[in-house]
Amino acid sequence: MLKQVMSQYNEAIMDTDRDRALQIVHVAVDLGISPEEIVFNVVVPAIELMMQSISENQGISLAQHFMAAQIASEVVDEMVPLFAKAPEIVGTVVIGTSQGDFHGLGKRIVSGCLKAMMVEVIDLGLNVAPERFIDEALARNAQVIAISSMMVHTATGENGCRRVRKLLKERDLEDRIRIAVGGAPYRFDPDLFKSVGADGWAENGVTAGRVITDLIREVRR
Amino acid sequence: MMTGMERLVAAIDGTPADRIPVFCNLLDQGAKELGLPLEEYYSSGEHVAEAQLKMRAKYGYDCLWSLFYVGKEAELLGCRKIIFAKDGPPNVGEMVIKKYDDIARLQVPDDITSHPAFAEELKCLRILKAEAGGKYPICAYLTASMTMPAILMGMEKWLQMLMMGPNDLRDELLTKCSDFFQKQVAAYRAAGADVLVYSNPFGSTDVIPRTFFNELSLPWMVRDLTPGGTSGIVYYCGSARFNNVIRSVIEHLGIGVFYLSPMDDIAEGKQLVAGRGLTCGVINDIMLLEWSKEEIRAEVKRMIAAGKQGGKFLFGTLVMPYNIPEENIRTMLEAAYEYGSFECP
Ligand code: B12
């Protein structure tokens, strides 16, 4: 039965049909599938399947990413309080857009996927100053600072990732905190993340989940 | 020597020319050219026109722009705050639609040309027309109805409304944006713009699924374009890919110029257009920040080799980032002139 739920849920996600996806989940819970199984055996695999389709180049549109993240985040919000015991958190991420950048969609998609993967996400919002990224990461004990930028000048500017890197170095925090970046400029120039001093980047929200959890594990090792 | 306009017309008609047309979209660079901060530069149509003419003469490419920045369109619909950077494009800094009720309040100006936010652009267009009209194509940028809400309420809220409704409000907003588009395109045509770049990321299946394209994107594009027709209209998805919808766009909209994504396969795009229009190969200009001279030349050569055969081809850029070194701009253009030339003009 779980298999059937999985395939129906996947189909609803690909069709960007939120109401159907939520209905499938609710019916499944009524039929006795546990909230843990819903999250770990339905929602997370759906995100992973999407990741696989992308790497196989079967065009997944932005709208599908958005809906997958949106629905995943809604289901997780609903299911986690019903877990038999509180889930183990993989780690903590502070996320925001770089200074001067007011484009929040990428960040929202990334956050939704991270949440489904049991990463605690602290959203610092738009136009975040480099100092604030560091201060909040320290205050929240985050392993990763995630910075989203839609334009070249906000990705490469002196008050973006470059400055966050510099501050980490100056304060001797590089062992404790990793930087992940993403957004359009990084997709047009796949090496750009290195020149701004980031530890990793991802092309889309679902792969961001994997890249960021890997960075968290690096720090936690 | 041919003019840019003669080259463009030759490329559209498939008649002989000295070389393919080359479009280099320098916007913010105009401020550098005049030695002005961006905010001051964009406050005056005279500045923009002067810099556009200067840069075209200096580099020798084939187009002129009347576009200041995309956020201008939001100003026409009531946005009063633009955020200026020192080394990048201005951005909308205030959402005209903050809550759903604002959709009902949104007003499309009756006469766009008399709107204060349009005055400087109109000034710019008049100067360009007087100085270079008929010699160099004057380009205008217009946001499609389905993309316009992204700068009125933010891409995040808009995508949510598009995908999850409420559909009656979505349609009310789209109707207003489409009415606005129709007025805007008429105003630009009347003011003498030759090339009308119709920008619609929602016309790409990188952004929305194919079924959505068929059921919603296409009908709204038909509504946008029906009263004014497709003369001068360029299909452009904000640099998202669109080879796989070219056939539908030709069939349902009758558009004849395709400004591809750098990620689209140029040869494939040209094959799909199949002589029914002009295919524009577009360079991934963000890489011009980093590429060496050799890398730039090799990329331009590769692109032109993929599209030049048989003509009906143009070489172009996206919105060139402000910090691309001048030397790299020249390297790209010289390569485009060289590889894009036809042996017997
Ligand atoms: C849609 C779009 C528009 C729309 C809507 C803009 C808006 N307000 O959001 C319109 C047509 C209005 C527009 C306008 C402009 N745009 Co625009 N636009 C695009 C387009 C096609 C998609 C952007 C988008 O929303 N993507 C959806 C989001 C979700 O994708 P994303 O940000 O890439 O995020 C994904 C990944 O990158 C990743 N990710 C994101 N963040 C993070 C963070 C981390 C940590 C990780 C790991 C991963 C990650 O996951 C996300 C989900 O899959 C891109 C080109 C492209 N193909 O990407 C150009 C693009 C972003 N635009 C560009 C520009 C320049 C502009 C303008 C400034 C032009 C101008 N001169 O006025 C204006 C600005 C308008 C404004 N805000 O005032 C440039 C930016 C590059 C540059 N030259 O600086 C681009 C790249 C196009 C280009 N190549 O020229 N644009």
CA–CA separation, B176 vs B167, rounded Å? 14
Chain A hits for B262, CB-CB cut-off 8 Å, are 188
pLDDT score recorded for residue B81: 97
pLDDT score recorded for residue A96: 98
Identity of the residue in A16, A153, A156 whose CB atom sits nearest the CB atom of B163: A16
The atom number, within ligand 1, closest to the CA of A208 reads: 47
Interface-testing mutation among B27, B164, B324, with chain A (most A C-beta atoms within 10 A): B164
Domain map (residue ranges) of chain A: 2-82, 91-220
CB A116 within 8 A of CB A72: yes
Q: Is A158 on the interface with B (CB under 8 A)?
A: no
The atom number, within ligand 1, closest to the CA of B261 reads: 57
Q: For ligand 1, is residue B69 a contact (CB within 6 Å)? A: yes
* Choice from B155, B217, B282 to test ligand 1 binding pocket (greatest atom count within 8 A of CB): B155
What is the CATH architecture assignment of A91-220? 3-Layer(aba) Sandwich (3.40)
Q: Is the dihedral of CA B269, B271, B274, B279 positive or negative?
A: positive
The atom number, within ligand 1, closest to the CA of B154 reads: 8
CB B330 within 8 A of CB B298: no
ipTM of the complex: 0.93
pTM of the entire structure? 0.96
The alpha carbon of residue B192 is apart from the nearest alpha carbon of chain A, in Å, by: 31
Q: pLDDT tens across B149-190, in order? A: 999 999 999 999 999 999 999 999 999 999 999 999 999 999
Beta strands in A27-177 (DSSP E): 91-97, 119-123, 144-148
* Choice from B70, B142, B323 to test ligand 1 binding pocket (greatest atom count within 8 A of CB): B70
* Choice from B84, B239, B329 to test ligand 1 binding pocket (greatest atom count within 8 A of CB): B239
CA–CA separation, A216 vs B75, rounded Å? 43
Write out residues in chain A with pLDDT < 50, as ranges.
Answer: none
Q: How many CB pairs under 8 A join A and B?
A: 85
Do B207 and A63 count as a contact with CB atoms less than 8 A apart? yes
Q: Whose CA is nearest to atom 73 of ligand 1?
A: B70
Do B289 and A189 count as a contact with CB atoms less than 8 A apart? yes
Element (H, E) at A178: strand A178-182
Q: pLDDT tens across A107-122, in order? A: 999 999 999 999 999 9
Q: Whose CA is nearest to atom 46 of ligand 1?
A: A182
What residue in A sits closest to B164 (Cα-Cα)? A18
- For β-strands A119-123 and A200-201, DSSP reports them as unpaired
Identity of the residue in B88, B206, B207 whose CB atom sits nearest the CB atom of A154: B88
Q: For ligand 1, is residue B91 a contact (CB within 6 Å)? A: yes
CATH class of the domain defined by A2-82: mainly alpha
In order along its 345 residues, chain B shows pLDDT tens digits of: 899 999 999 999 999 999 999 999 999 999 999 999 999 999 999 999 999 999 999 999 999 999 999 999 999 999 999 999 999 999 999 999 999 999 999 999 999 999 999 999 999 999 999 999 999 999 999 999 999 999 999 999 999 999 999 999 999 999 999 999 999 999 999 999 999 999 999 999 999 999 999 999 999 999 999 999 999 999 999 999 999 999 999 999 999 999 999 999 999 999 999 999 999 999 999 999 999 999 999 999 999 999 999 999 999 999 999 999 999 999 999 999 999 999 754
- Decide whether A2-82 matches A91-220 in CATH topology: no
Q: For ligand 1, is residue B71 a contact (CB within 6 Å)? A: yes
CA–CA separation, B258 vs B278, rounded Å? 6
CA dihedral A7, A9, A10, A16 (to 10 degrees): 150
Q: pLDDT tens across B45-98, in order? A: 999 999 999 999 999 999 999 999 999 999 999 999 999 999 999 999 999 999
Identity of the residue in A15, A66, A157 whose CB atom sits nearest the CB atom of B159: A66
pLDDT score recorded for residue A50: 82
Beta strands in chain B (DSSP E): 22-23, 64-65, 82-83, 91-92, 138-143, 195-199, 233-236, 257-259, 278-282, 313-316
How confident is the prediction for chain A on average, in pLDDT? 94
Do B290 and A66 count as a contact with CB atoms less than 8 A apart? no
pLDDT score recorded for residue B130: 97
A63: CB partners within 8 A, 6+ apart: A16, B159, B162, B163, B207, B208, B209, B212
